[in-house]
Chain A
Amino acid sequence: MPRDASDLLHGTLDVLVLKTLSWGAMHGYAIAEWIEHRGGGHLVIVDAALYKALHRLEESGAITSEWGLSDNKRRAKYYSLTTRGRARLRSESETWKRYALAVGRIIESS
């Protein structure tokens, strides 16, 4: 598996997943589509890494899952945000905004 993409998105991916799920419950494929679409094609996610993030987040209690039927009547696993996940999204979004700002400033000044 291409480690660079995974490493690049590690941590970042968790926030993106949480943010995506803040719009409502989704299955894994929809999450991947959503992130790639919203990222304007700049963020390419390795699918396996996305599922690792999903299971990791579920284990930590930030999201929860449930088997349901997809739009085309297929059995699919739907993930949704928990209260704990919402709180984590808030705090990590703040961190990320400050981080991105700081990195942007440094890069522009040089």
Chain B
Amino acid sequence: MQVPSGVRRAFRLPASSGQITRDLEDEVAFHVAMRVQSLERAGRSHDDAIAQAQRKFGDVQDLHDYCVALEVPHMQRAQARERLSSIAQDLRFALRQMRRSPAFALIASLTLALGVGATTAIFSVVNGVVLKPLPFSDPQQLVQLWGIDANGRHLHFADPTFDHLLAENHTLSAAAEYNTGDMSFSTNGTATRVTAAGVSKEFFRVLNVRPELGRSFAPEDQQKGSPMVILISHGLWMRLFGGSESVIGTIIKSGETPITIIGVLPAGKEFPAGTDAWYPREPFGEATSYTAHNWNVIARVKDGVTTEAATRDVSMVLRRLHAAVGDATWTLDGTAIPLRDQIIGSVKVLLLLILGASAVLLLIACANVANLLIARMAVRESEIAVRVAIGAGRGRIAQQLLIETSLLAAVGCLGGMVIAAAGMKMLLVLRPALIPRVGELSLDWRVLVFAVVISAATAVALALVAAWRGTAGDLRAALSQSQRTQGGGGASYRVRGSLVVVQLAMTVVLLIGAGLLARSFVGLMSIDPGFRTHGMVVAGTVFDEPRDTNYIGRRSVYYQQLAERALAIPGVTSVGISDAPPFSNGSSNGEFLVLDNAGIKLAPSALEGMFNDKARTGYATYRTATGGYFKAMGIPVLSGRVFDATDRAGGPEVAVINAALAHKRWPNGDAMGKVIEFGNIDGDLTPMTIVGIVGDTREQDLAADPLPAAYVDFDQRPGNSNEMFVIMAASNEAGAIAAARRAFPQVRADVPMRFLTVEDIIGRSVDSQRFMLLLVGIFGAVALLLATLGVYSVISYLVAQRGREISIRVALGASAPQIVHLVLKQGVALSLVGAIIGGVAALAATRVLKRLLYQVSPTDPIAFATVLVVLCGVALVASYVPARRAAAFEPMDVLRGG
């Protein structure tokens, strides 16, 4: 620059805005220099010329600010354009890379898709079940109320207890009783079995639900003797009435009782879940009994009242009542549980466990992809070295890697959503009874955000790993050595080896979890439930007849005819009937009195007093059964007899008890001939004589010990369930079901029925265990597959990397088995380290499974040993393939650089 230094100094601008300032400074300096020259030519002195040129030029600072203000947005746009174009360029490059190695792209995206898919599917369940609020307004105000007895058990409410609660509480804005059961529902002569809830008048006010069509219950609907009315669910409305508005006012029949439909509830607002119809509750006929614990209670707390405050309040009312009425209430205390906790209960822990397992799977998938990426980085080290050499900064390289991994993660995320959607469908098909609110599951925005976030996090993590590996070490060395295979190899092997060890360890944890669950499941399924399970068919029949004095007689006739039809079915050898076979949820339970004499029918007032005498009471489940029931179920008669044709209505009343009750109540073996009375359950108040003792059966829960049970005669006593079960021992289950489906409606078409096998029923009781086992098992299998791939790829890499060394060994006379041994040693070392770390981690982790295990310790040595052996075996096989390849090396090929 030939501008005189004085001129430059005079016009030096503040050093800001870089390029603009420098350019402008040059431009101004040139201008002034020209002006000064011209003035000097005109005869001015140098200093004078500079001063005048300066004056003539004006405010340089103002010009500078003006130009900066003009150009900054312009420059920013240019920079953004440049950044975008560099991203587009990197994206094109990444796509080219993917096209060039489609196998890598496919495996990496699939692996990520598996991890993201599994985690997203499970998260969507957690979201639907645990995170989403209940579909009622102010759901946090809804609570379920319970009484608590001396043993800490939760009790349902008896009517008078509920009345006290309503009158004396200070924290509830509304409370309602409800109870669900099966009901026959006939329209135009076709009977359907529906789940119906009898509810007290405040029920819909507690939930704050209004019918979408028709009206809710009016006070007069609740009065005794008023015409029966019913509200139906949106689902039932669609199913039976095709969504027609003329359904309001339609009269349906339940047995012989006509009922008018007055309203339809909006979809998704069913409570309890799965209820098809709601009717004004009718008391069971013992509205004055404090021990008829028959009602569920839901309540809404007042604004600003906490659950704890409600619990204190309810407890106070119940304790006061207990003090006033005495032991007869059983209810010592009370509690309020948030309705959401009540519904999701223990499932929450289960789901969070499964979510944890799926997160482990995702980590394993990430480790695998990281492993693959590092393998590729080793190959691409020279490419990256070139990029660095021509001036790409680490940031630029990192950007490119991030774009490459983001592309993988994006494909993985999309694939994962597909897998998640399919997985959700599978869950819905399994539809395990243990998952409440399963109908509300959906892939909503929270799930999508979740999938995108974990995919993005995965992309960043992978890019960091790749960038660290890709730009670490001496790049110039990598560049110069790029023709050889060992550029940065040692360090790379260590990193990849560690990733595989982590993978193996996590796989061990998942597999041991699956192993424990499997052992527990097998143990559970091999428990003898005390009755025959194979070749057993159950027909559930809803006999909805008015319970008048002729009820038992009408019912006996009907079921006698059913039994005859059943016995006529080829292959059916025996038939029995009960209101509460095991796993049916039909049984009632309660206290009985032991009386001195069968002949006397005591007054209710006399019985009330006797309940306070512990020497005179016992506790048992209460079931109605025919004599044929025990034979059909394969329940052995241990002493005495079961019901037979001599036991008739009006004759001497008899009872059969199980061994558990005999041992518990009469440990001296003198149960036979004792007289008992279940007045507070059957309302009959007629004493029964114990005429037989039968074997124990497990109820509801295979893992729980058999409960004391008393059976009453089907022809002498009503049961407590609307649903009666016809049990058939049949050689061909499917054939018997098909035949019964045809034959039974010929007796009466208006009794709705469902047919099941006993195996199905028992199978359902272990739904939660099966579900957990299935999911953890699938995760474990996928993890094992990924870990195997990991071991295989690392050992293959090792073999390639040590090709020269191995060739030299072969050239020096090492035998093939020696080479195989050399390579296998590496695989074994990796799997042993992984197995040991995994085993220790599993010892810590599987404790959380404890509650789900049956007779298996969380540290069960068989499960641990099996998994460790399987894992090491699989790792050995995965290393054997590359080992064989190494043994087949032709030394000269390798040494020549082949």
Chain A interface residue count, CB cutoff 8 Å, equals: 21
Which residues of chain A are within 8 angstroms of B71 by Cβ–Cβ distance? 55, 59
Smallest Cβ distance from B59 to chain A, in angstroms? 4
A74 CB-CB contact with B under 8 Å: yes
Choose, from A17-25, A46-54, A90-98, the stretch at the interface: A46-54
**Chain A residue with minimal CB distance to B59?**
A1
Please classify the interface of chain B as helix (H, G, I), strand (E, B), loop, or mixed, using the class held by over half of its residues.
helix
Contacts of A75 in B (CB 8 A): 1, 26, 30
Which residue of B is nearest A59, CB measured? B70
Name the A residues within 8 Å of B1 (CB-CB). 74-75
Closest A residue to B24 by beta carbon equals A51
Judge if A40 is at the interface, Cβ distance under 8 Å.
no
Q: How many Å lie between the Cα of A27 and that of B31 in the bound state?
A: 9
CA distance A28 to B71 in the complex (A): 18
Chain A residues, Cβ within 8 Å of B35 = 29, 47
Q: For A1, give its contact among B26, B33, B58, B67 (CB under 8 Å).
A: B58
**Structural contact, A28 and B70, CB atoms closer than 8 A:** no
Chain A 43-70 near chain B by CB (<8 Å), digits 1 or 0: 0001111011001100100000000001
User: Does A73 sit within 8 A of B, measured CB to CB?
Assistant: yes
Say yes or no for B865: interface residue by CB 8 A criterion: no
Contact at A70–B30, with CB atoms within 8 Å? Answer: yes
- Min Cβ gap B8→A in Å is 12
Is B649 in contact with chain A by the CB < 8 A criterion?
Answer: no
Contact of B34 with A by CB under 8 A:
yes
Q: Is B58 touching A29 in the complex (CB atoms < 8 A)?
A: no
Assess whether B896 is interfacial by the CB under 8 Å rule.
no
Instruction: Collect the chain B residues with CB atoms within 8 Å of residue A104's CB.
Output: none
Judge if B63 is at the interface, Cβ distance under 8 Å: yes
B63: contacting residue among A52, A59, A70, A77, CB under 8 A: A52
Contacts of B60 in A (CB 8 A): 48
Q: Mark B62-103, 1 if CB is under 8 A from A, else 0.
A: 110011001100100000000000000000000000000000
Q: Is the CB of B23 within 8 A of A77?
A: yes
- Contact in complex: B31, A47 (CB < 8 Å): yes
- Which residues in A have their C-beta under 8 angstroms from that of B57? 46-48
| A2 interface contact, C-beta 8 A | yes
Are the C-beta atoms of A46 and B58 separated by less than 8 Å? Answer: yes
A9 within 8 A of B: no
Cβ contact within 8 Å between B58 and A47: yes
* In the complex, B27 has a CB within 8 A of chain A: yes
B-side contacts of A76, CB under 8 Å: 27, 30
Residues in chain A near residue B26, CB distance under 8 A: 75, 77
The docked-state distance in angstroms from the alpha carbon of A51 to that of B62 is 11
In the complex the two chains form, what is the Cα distance from A52 to B60 in whole Å? Answer: 10
Q: Is the CB of A55 within 8 A of B67?
A: yes
Chain A residues with CB under 8 Å of B59's CB are 1, 48
B3: Cβ under 8 A from any A Cβ? yes
Interface residues of B in 1-25 (CB under 8 A from A): 1-3, 23-24
* In the complex, chain B residues whose CB is within 8 Å of the CB of A74: 1-3, 30, 33
Asked if B2 contacts A48 (CB within 8 A), the reply is: no
Across-interface contacts of A55 in B (CB, < 8 A)? 66-67, 70-71
In angstroms, Cα B57 to Cα A46, docked, is: 6
Min Cβ gap B263→A in Å is 71
Report A22 CB to chain B, min CB distance, Å. Answer: 21
Taken residue by residue from 570 to 611, chain B's Cβ proximity to chain A (1 for < 8 Å, 0 otherwise) reads as: 000000000000000000000000000000000000000000
CA distance A27 to B28 in the complex (A): 11
In chain B, what residue has the closest Cβ to A55?
Answer: B67
Q: How many Å from the CB of B314 to the closest CB on chain A? A: 76
A27 near B74 (CB under 8 angstroms)? Answer: no
Cβ 8 A contact of A28, one of B2, B3, B31, B56: B31
A105 to chain B, nearest CB (A): 34
In the bound complex, CA of A1 to CA of B60 (Å): 9
Q: Is the CB of B30 within 8 A of A29?
A: yes
- Tell me, in angstroms, the Cα distance from A95 to B146 when the chains sit together: 91
A56 and B30 contacting across the interface, CB-CB below 8 Å: no
- How far does the alpha carbon of A48 sit from the alpha carbon of B30 in the complex, in Å? 13
Q: Could you tell me if B74 and A59 are in contact, using CB atoms closer than 8 angstroms?
A: yes
A32 to B59 Cα, complex, angstroms: 16
| Bound Cα distance from A75 to B71, whole angstroms | 22
User: Are B70 and A51 within 8 A (Cβ)?
Assistant: no
In the complex formed, the residue of A with least CB distance to B73 is A59
Cβ of A77 to closest chain B Cβ, rounded Å? 5
* Alpha-carbon separation in the docked complex, A1 to B57 (Å): 9
Q: Is the CB of B70 within 8 A of A56?
A: yes
In the assembled complex, the CB of B73 is this many whole angstroms from the nearest CB of chain A, namely 9
Q: How far is the CA of A51 from the CA of B26 in the complex (A)?
A: 13
Report how far A76 CA is from B66 CA in the complex, Å: 20
| B23 to A, closest residue via Cβ | A77
Q: Are B67 and A49 in contact (CB under 8 A)?
A: no
CB-CB contacts of A72-95 with B at 8 A, as 1s and 0s? Answer: 011111000000000000000000
In the bound complex, what is the Cα–Cα distance between A75 and B2 (angstroms)? Answer: 8
A75 to B34, CA, bound (A): 12
Give chain B nearest CB distance to A41 CB in angstroms.
14
Min CB distance, B606 to chain A, in Å? Answer: 107
Return the chain B residue nearest A30 by Cβ.
B34
Complex CA–CA separation, A74 to B31 (angstroms): 11
Measured in the bound complex, the distance between the Cα atoms of B65 and A48 in whole Å is 11
CB nearest to A73 among chain B residues: B2
Instruction: Point out residues on A near B: beta carbons under 8 Å.
Output: 1-2, 27-29, 32, 46-49, 51-52, 55-56, 59, 70, 73-77
- What are some 23 contacts across the A-B interface (CB < 8 A)? A1-B59, A27-B30, A28-B31, A29-B31, A29-B34, A32-B31, A47-B35, A47-B56, A48-B58, A48-B60, A51-B24, A52-B66, A55-B70, A56-B70, A59-B70, A59-B71, A74-B1, A74-B2, A74-B30, A75-B1, A75-B26, A75-B30, A76-B30
Ranked 7 nearest A-B pairs via Cβ? A48-B58, A1-B59, A47-B57, A29-B34, A48-B63, A46-B58, A1-B58
Q: A29-B34, A75-B30 are in contact. List 4 more A-B contacts (CB 8 A).
A: A1-B62, A47-B31, A70-B30, A77-B26
